[in-house]
Chains A and B, each alone.
Chain A
């Protein structure tokens, strides 16, 4: 058996995540409020909490490249001839030849359907010709027309999808966790993620189209995924360390999964960053929204879901697993506690030191002597707390 020089029974550092639970939850709430602030700001300024794409505003959208650089006001004057409502004209900041036009082309409702279609088509053709003639060329990038029927439908479908997805996730969470506290905590983490995503989108003025529903559902799935992994570890540790104090156990679980959490969110963010930087403008807003949601999904498992669990269980009595617990003659200084008594378990407490403290146990199975000081160290760490807690409870 090779000796693992990296592994030493060094100081095992459990990061005290949940001790600051209230702080994390306050920050989470603040972030959500900031998000609402941005949405309100947008609403006051533009009538909608986010920049809505044509799927929701209905009407016509034309994105084109003209022959020479233009100013939005000039183009607006030309567009106004073809619409009765105020059109929106945006010139791309990076390339003043690129223009985005949104307009509502009015049609005579008394005429037949065919004639209405033809009228609209003629007006759009004329508009494109006008622009082409005035600015030396018109190249279409993309164009869309969304009629009122489809506009309504898209919104309805999006809402149905959200409701269904949430219901399914709730059912899944209920079966999976079978525990009210875990279920509520994971759902509240999702709620936080949703608020974050909406605020993020509002703050960065990302455009929302029907594809945004894909962002929301992906983030919901991803965030729940992340939370499940952490809660699974907590439950596993509850099984393996039945007498460990719950707060400590959560810290342990979070510390153990920390590297994994960071690395998985890093890989996803890397791919999203390449999409944002290299993927072209058509997909950029979509990718930025996803990126924000993914980061939020990752940190909400650690800083929202687990703190909520702690807060719920704060008033629960500690789990009693042995007579020793009840009589208060449990962990004593020096005597190995249940975790340390079983050699298989002690390293479990100390093993994560590999990632955190760069310390490592040396061939833990074979080497019992190194365990003893470690065990007593663990006991020392644990022991002073336990008696004092017990003292308080008495």
Chain B
């Protein structure tokens, strides 16, 4: 093996090592080897927009605040592996894996529940309505009743049962508790309306002074309603209302199915291409097959290393790129046949074929690269995934189909000189 070949071997081994290191690391930490998109994992992908009232523009503070509130509402215990990011000046993308069809337990989330959780600004107000109670459902946007306690004054809220009915029990913060105590002691036998998002949900009479700041909100709640309200109260008020622009949900069964089917398709595709190359190109075909196996390892490894998200179109792009990677080999091997026919020695023919073909191959792949790059910049979610695997595949295929194949083939050529194996 001469110096140049040795250097090539080192390069190949380094590329291989880099490809393999990240998956092994992630596997040891029991993480997924490759980050899966929601269309494979199952879950909800929601695009939100901050919709401030007429004429106002949303501020960055509001955005940051809104993101915090959303996180606390959807994932109060921090266990869900949410992806929550600001996109541009006024949009938020929320990805919730593991969304269920039906909420069997209060912690379960269906996409509708998420929408409802995000939908309300959860502005809670206790207002002093004086001597007469006002009916449930009254709209208080234009009212002038003084506000005694606000949602911000709550330290905590949770669901409890009062005579079998679900209620939201709350605990006020210290200062508010004092204020509440003073107010209730001064207004015994008068009414206080509990207003949520400017709608009265109940209007109890103040029977006696309440010190200590704990109380209950009763309002004909179902368990679900109560648990959602307590979630919202705990998470805090949304600084700005959120509009839902787009929702995509993939159920868990479909996600698993998609993975299963695409692996199946990938295996079959790989095997058929292997057989094809072997049949048509014999020894070089066999070498191309080895390079193809390496190609797959490289692509998966680098997808893992770059922490790229693999989506379903991404898998399709990957399987497509298997066919295109072999394309490069076909060009080179056809050239090889011609060079041999022109009378060069095996060695010289290989040198010439690889040299000439590389230029042609690189050049022709440029258009695919251009297409892929444009896709990457203009595509959303799944389409970006496709662009990533296609671009990565083209880049790696240049390496594996040219450098790796050439290395292995020239090594073989020193031992197997029978021309018949090559044409």
Residues of A within 8 A of B (CB): 1-2, 4, 6-7, 63, 65, 112-118, 120-122, 124-125, 128, 132, 138-147, 149-150, 154, 157-158, 160-161, 164-165, 168-169, 172, 176, 210-211, 213-214, 217-218, 220-222, 224-226, 228-229, 232, 256-257, 259-260, 263-264, 266-272, 274-275, 277-280, 282-283, 286-287, 290, 344, 347-348, 351-352, 354-355, 360-361, 363-366
User: B369 to chain A: which residues have CB within 8 Å?
Assistant: 221
Q: Tell yes or no: B244 within 8 A of A by CB.
A: yes
Whether B418 and A2, one on each chain, are in contact in the complex, defined by CB atoms closer than 8 angstroms, is yes
Per CB-CB distance, the 5 closest pairs between chain A and chain B, nearest first, are A280-B261, A117-B119, A221-B371, A365-B343, A351-B341
- Cα of A211 to Cα of B168 in the assembled complex, Å: 45
The 8 A CB mask of B260-298 against A (1 = contact, 0 = none) is 111011101100110011001000000000000000000
Give 16 new A-B contacts, CB below 8 A, not counting A117-B244, A229-B364. Answer: A7-B341, A113-B119, A118-B116, A121-B113, A142-B249, A146-B246, A157-B379, A161-B379, A172-B370, A210-B379, A214-B386, A220-B367, A222-B367, A228-B363, A279-B265, A351-B341
Name the distance in Å between B400's Cβ and chain A's nearest Cβ: 15
Contacts of B313 in A (CB 8 A): 211, 214, 283, 286
Q: A140-B251, A143-B111, A344-B342 are in contact. Are A274 and B319 (CB under 8 A)?
A: yes
Closest CB in chain A relative to B312 CB, distance in Å: 6
Query: Is B210 an interface residue, CB under 8 A from the partner?
Result: no
Q: How far, in whole Å, are A278 and B257 apart by their CA atoms in the complex?
A: 11
Cα–Cα, bound, A2→B421 (Å): 12
The answer on a CB contact under 8 Å between A351 and B338 is yes
What is the 8 Å Cβ interface bit string for chain B, positions 143-178, against chain A (1 contact, 0 not)?
A: 000000000000000000000000000000000000
A154 (CB) vs chain B CBs: closest residue: B380
A6 to B265, CA, bound (A): 38
Residues of B within 8 A of A154 (CB): 380
A140 touches B375 (CB 8 A): no
Determine if B241 and A112 form an interchain contact, defined as CB atoms under 8 angstroms apart.
Answer: yes
Minimum CB distance partner of A364 in chain B? B343
| Complexed CA–CA distance, A175 and B186 (Å) | 86
B243 interface residue (CB < 8 Å to A): yes
Is the CB–CB distance between B254 and A270 below 8 Å? no
Contacts of B269 in A (CB 8 A): 270-271, 274-275
Q: Are B368 and A218 in contact (CB under 8 A)?
A: yes
Contacts of A268 in B (CB 8 A): 320, 323-324, 327
A225 proximity list for chain B (CB < 8 A)? 364-365, 367-368
Q: Is A264's CB under 8 angstroms from B330's CB? A: yes
User: Is the CB of B390 closer than 8 A to any CB of chain A?
Assistant: yes
Residues of B341-382 whose CB lies within 8 A of A: 341-343, 345, 360, 363-372, 374-375, 377-380, 382
A282 in contact with B272 given A117-B118, A139-B253, A165-B374 (CB within 8 Å) = no
Asked if B101 and A218 sit within 8 Å, CB to CB, the answer is no
Residue from the list B268, B323, B420 in contact with A267, Cβ < 8 A: B323
* A283-B320 CB under 8 A given contacts A228-B364, A260-B331, A271-B269: no
Q: How large is the interface on B (under 10, 10 to 19, 20 to 34, 35 or more residues)?
A: 35 or more
Q: Is the CB of A117 within 8 A of B49?
A: no
User: Could you list 30 examples of A-B contacts with CB < 8 Å?
Assistant: A117-B118, A121-B113, A140-B249, A144-B247, A144-B249, A147-B243, A213-B383, A214-B313, A214-B379, A214-B386, A218-B320, A218-B390, A221-B367, A228-B364, A256-B338, A263-B280, A267-B324, A267-B330, A268-B327, A270-B272, A270-B273, A271-B272, A274-B268, A275-B319, A278-B264, A282-B312, A283-B261, A347-B343, A351-B341, A364-B343
8 A Cβ contacts from B225-257 to A: 241-251, 253-254, 257
Contact A269 B316 (CB under 8 A): no
The answer to whether A279 touches B323, judged by C-beta atoms less than 8 angstroms apart, is no
What residues of B have a CB within 8 angstroms of the CB of A221 in the complex? Answer: 367-372
Q: What is the chain B residue whose CB lies nearest that of A343?
A: B343
Residue of B nearest to A127 (CB): B112
Which residues of the other chain, A, contact B320 by a CB distance below 8 angstroms? 218, 268, 271-272, 275, 290
| A263: min CB distance to chain B, Å | 5
Closest to A166 in B: B374
By the criterion CB–CB under 8 Å, are A157 and B378 in contact? yes
Which residues does chain A contribute within 8 Å of B340, judged by CB atoms? 4
**CB closest chain-A residue, reference B112:** A121
Query: Which of A138, A271, A364 sits near B342, CB closer than 8 Å?
Result: A364
Q: Which residues of B contact A (CB under 8 A)?
A: 39, 47, 49, 51, 101-102, 110-113, 115-116, 118-121, 197, 241-251, 253-254, 257-258, 260-262, 264-266, 268-269, 272-273, 276-277, 280, 312-313, 315-317, 319-320, 322-324, 326-327, 330-331, 334, 337-338, 340-343, 345, 360, 363-372, 374-375, 377-380, 382-383, 386-387, 390, 417-420, 423
Contact A169 B367 (CB under 8 A): yes
Say yes or no: B423 contacts A141, CB within 8 Å: no
**Given A142-B251, A270-B273, A274-B265: A352 touches B338 (CB 8 Å cut-off):** yes
**Given contact pairs A121-B112, A214-B386, A268-B323, A274 touches B272 in the complex (Cβ within 8 A):** yes
Partner of B253, one of A4, A141, A287: A141
Whether the Cβ atoms of A118 and B338 lie closer than 8 Å is no
Contact residues in A for B265 (Cβ distance below 8 Å): 274-275, 277-280
In chain B, what residue has the closest Cβ to A351? B341
CB < 8 Å neighbour of B374 from A146, A168, A279, A363: A168
A361 to B, closest residue via Cβ: B341
> Complex formed: what's the CA distance from A301 to B165 in Å?
74
CB atoms of B371 and A271 under 8 A apart: no
Residues of A within 8 A of B420 (CB): 6
Bound form: Cα–Cα A113–B118 in Å: 11
In the complex, what distance in Å separates the CA atom of A161 from the CA atom of B383? 12
Minimal beta-carbon separation of A116 from chain B (angstroms): 8
Q: How far is the CA of A107 from the CA of B281 in the complex (A)?
A: 63
A366–B382 Cα gap in the complex (Å)? Answer: 58
- Kindly report which residue of chain A lies nearest to residue B341, judged by CB atoms: A351
A161 and B241 contacting across the interface, CB-CB below 8 Å: no
Partner of A142, one of B119, B244, B250, B366: B250
- Residues from chain B with a CB closer than 8 A to the CB of A271 are 269, 272-273, 319-320, 322-323
Residue pair B367, A124 in contact (C-beta under 8 Å): no
Contacts of B111 on A, CB cut-off 8 Å?
143
Q: Kindly identify which residue among A114, A124, A228, A283 contacts B316, using a CB–CB cutoff of 8 Å.
A: A283
For A269, the chain B residues whose CB sits under 8 A away are 323
Taking the nearest CB of chain A, how far is it from the CB of B53, in angstroms?
Answer: 10
**CB < 8 Å: which of A128, A132, A279 contacts B262?**
A279
Note all chain A residues with C-beta closer than 8 A to B247.
Answer: 143-145
Asked whether A147 lies within 8 Å of B330 as measured between CB atoms, the reply is no
Picked from B248, B343, B366, B367, the residue with its CB within 8 Å of the CB of A144 is: B248
B115 touches A283 (CB 8 A): no
Q: Is the CB of B331 within 8 A of A229?
A: yes
In the complex, which residue of chain B has the Cβ closest to the Cβ of A348?
B342
Q: Which residues of A are found within 8 Å of B378, using beta-carbon distances?
A: 157-158, 160-161, 164, 213
Q: Which residues of chain B are near A168, meaning CB under 8 Å?
A: 370, 374
Residues of B contacting A140 in the complex (Cβ-Cβ under 8 angstroms) = 101, 249, 251
> How far in angstroms is the closest Cβ of chain A from B231?
15
Provide the residues of chain B in CB contact with A266, threshold 8 Å: 276
Of residues A128, A275, A277, A364, which shows the largest number of chain B Cβ atoms within 10 Å of its Cβ?
Answer: A275
Partner pick for B112 among A2, A124, A267, A360, CB 8 A cutoff: A124
The answer to whether A113 and B338 have CB atoms under 8 Å apart is no
